[in-house]
């Protein structure tokens, strides 16, 4: 997973505070927790930081794309094996004769399904990590052989 130090290495490291944070490291942490976006650092817009800006945007974008549950799917790592689809307890409960039986989902109530060889997420509000009564379910994470799913 992308870490604060990895992000920090691409920042200007001037601690100029123009982003509203006291240090570049604090800004790196804010990027990681989705409290800031790359564009909040005006220094990165300078020509000499162009490569840093582009690389940062690339490595931070999965964080920004995390669903409400904090779920990130690294599509480039997904092999479409379907392990997570049949392991998700919500999928099993909502689709007992499809995902629950180890098969392709048969309805739209599932959270995880494989389409075109890549896992897709929907109905994230039903994920057991979501909402007031959330629990730290990790069915999809532990069954993924390639670490394509993570939560931040």
The answer to the question of residue 113 lying near ligand SF4 (CB under 6 A) is no
| 27 touches 57 (CB < 8 A) | no
Which listed range, 56-64, 99-107, 111-119, lies at the site for ligand SF4 (CB under 6 A)?
111-119
In 9-124, where do the E strands start and end? 71-73, 112-115, 118-121
Using CB under 6 A as the binding rule, the residues of this chain from 68 to 87 that contact ligand SF4 are: 78-84, 87
CB of 99 vs ligand SF4, minimal distance in Å:
10
- From 63, 90, 92, 110, residue interacting with ligand SF4 (rule: CB under 6 A): 90
Q: What are phi and psi of 68, to 5 degrees?
A: -60, -25
Cβ atoms < 10 Å from Cβ of 19: 23
Beta-carbon contacts of residue 132 (< 8 Å; ≥ 6 apart): none
Name the residues that contact ligand SF4, by CB under 6 A: 11-12, 14-19, 21, 24, 27, 41, 43, 78-84, 87-90, 111-112, 114, 119, 127-129, 137, 139-140, 143-144, 146, 148-149
């Amino acid at each position: 997973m992308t870490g604060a130090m990895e992000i920090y290495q691409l920042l200007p490291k001037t601690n100029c505070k123009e982003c509203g944070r006291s240090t570049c490291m604090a800004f790196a942490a804010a990027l990681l927790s989705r409290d800031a976006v790359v564009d909040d650092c005006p220094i990165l817009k300078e020509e000499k930081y162009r490569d840093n800006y582009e690389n940062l945007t690339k490595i931070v974008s999965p964080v920004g794309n995390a669903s409400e549950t904090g779920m990130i799917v690294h599509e480039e790592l997904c092999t479409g094996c379907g392990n997570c689809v049949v392991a998700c307890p919500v999928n099993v409960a909502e689709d007992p004769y499809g995902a629950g039986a180890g098969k392709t989902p048969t309805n739209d109530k599932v959270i995880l399904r494989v389409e075109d060889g890549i896992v897709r997420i929907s109905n994230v509000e039903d994920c057991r990590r979501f909402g007031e009564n959330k629990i730290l379910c990790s069915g999809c994470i532990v069954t993924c052989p390639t670490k394509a799913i993570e939560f931040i």
